[in-house]
Amino acid sequence: SGFDRVRLVGQAKTMLAKFSQSHPDWQMNFQLPEKEQSLEASPEPDYQKFKISFHFFSSPEELEAVSQEVSGFFPNQNILTCEEIGHNRNLPADAPVKKYCLDILPATKADAVNYLEKICGINKGLVAGDSGNDTAMLVDSQRLTAVLVGGYKTELKSAVDSKIPSLRPGKRSFQRITTASGGTKAVYIEQGERLAAESILHAAKILERAENISKIGKK
């Protein structure tokens, strides 16, 4: 509820017009401007029904400022940014300006996971991801161990590293991170060549083994 896409796209057009004057270097635009224009004449109810997507250019240091300015136009929505990997993979790692994607959403992956935790009474499990827009879901899902699967993006690893109070030395798969609520939880960071489901399965086996060892110790 509260996500009137037609009205929000109208606000987005106002925002883009202002940014073209105040921040032309951002080059912010809809990800598919032609599609957004065609929807005005012939709406498609199922096209990104609960998402409006943009791209822009920015330095990593300016990302937070971009998000804050966009939030000013959409105060009741969620703003998510992540790297545009297709473009940035051709840039040097220390490129001063990169291309990013920005989504306006009524709810995030983190909201969905926390909702499921609550209504289903989930106390233990895994939540996995590989890109920057998975950060909040991985870090702030309260009871679930986070898994960074093989092939994870640098921006996700950096965001998770910033939540580790004291990085344990060596090449360790499991670390402990601080959540938004101030608590702590475990995170598995793939160190080998496993991808996707293989990373999740490997993390689950390690946790199961640790739990069995704990049970034996208590006996």
Q: How far apart are CA 152 and CA 77, in angstroms?
A: 27
Per-residue pLDDT tens over the stretch 60-108:
999 999 999 999 999 999 999 999 989 999 999 889 999 999 999 999 9
Per-residue pLDDT tens over the stretch 109-159:
999 998 998 999 998 899 999 998 899 999 988 789 999 999 998 889 988
Per-residue three-class SS string for 100-144: EEEEEECCCHHHHHHHHHHHHCCCCCEEEECCHHHHHHHHHCCCC
Shortest CA distance to 110 belongs to which of 83, 135, 145, 82? 135
Beta carbons within 8 Å of 87's beta carbon, 6+ residues apart: 98, 99
Beta carbons within 8 Å of 208's beta carbon, 6+ residues apart: none
Q: How far apart are CA 133 and CA 158, in angstroms?
A: 13
CB 115 within 8 A of CB 167: no
Per-residue three-class SS string for 172-191: CCEEEEECCCCCEEEEEECC
Helix (H) or strand (E) holding 58: strand 52-58
More confident site: 108 or 2:
108
For residue 114, give the amino acid letter. Answer: N
Q: How far apart are CA 77 and CA 214, in angstroms?
A: 43
**pTM summary value:** 0.82
Q: How far apart are CA 199 and CA 174, in angstroms?
A: 12
